[in-house]
Structure 1
């Protein structure tokens, strides 16, 4: 018997099905919510983390990765509202990573040439 058939038969008898909020709760279990919590897409979360970390370390690697993962998350229709938003923010952070790298390289080349020094 389908759900619609059960609902019609319940309506014909003059009774209605209780909503999830009206159903008695089982001890130790939370009440069921009407809407599931919004989840952040894994690619969007990775783009945000890589973009944030790229502002401080390895921006030549983390920036492009954040952009690629962010674009994929933003274009995925299953990502939901927060997946798309997280993807867009990941792209912005990835672009910011590359801009920081460009500023650092330009300031380094303009002052005394490009030299890398490991240690003190």
Structure 2
């Protein structure tokens, strides 16, 4: 007996498009707050979306770039303050 509906191609494609958009948004927000968490999450979501062939490839690439930028900003502020957290 099957309790859940089988995944259709349309739903999984929409999920991967959502991952691409989420990676972009999280990468953008991560430049300001919680970049130690949001940067890696944005990178992973973008990589999964790109691997599964999202229709929003540009957003996924931007999310990937912003996730990497989050980690670069974190590293720069850590170098300047000698601490994991930073503030304005």
- Is the pair's TM-score, using the shorter chain for normalization, greater than 0.5? yes
Runs of 4+ in 1 over 3 A off after TM superposition: none
> C-alpha root-mean-square deviation of aligned residues, in Å?
2.3
After superposition, the Cα gap between the structure-2 partners of 1:48 and 1:115, relative to the gap in structure 1 and judged at 3 Å, is closer
Q: Report the secondary structure of 2:21's partner residue.
A: helix
Match of 2:52 in 1: 76
Structure showing greater Rg: 1
2:58 aligned with 1:85:
yes
TM-score normalised to structure 2 length: 0.73
Match of 1:65 in 2: 41
Report Cα offsets for 1:57-86 as digits up to 9, x if no partner: 000000000000011111222x22xx2211
Q: Which has the higher contact order (CA 8 A, sep 6+)?
A: 2
2:25 aligned with 1:49:
yes
Match of 1:97 in 2: 70
Count of residues paired in the alignment: 72
Q: Distance in 1 between matches of 2:84 and 2:20?
A: 35
TM-score normalised to structure 1 length: 0.54
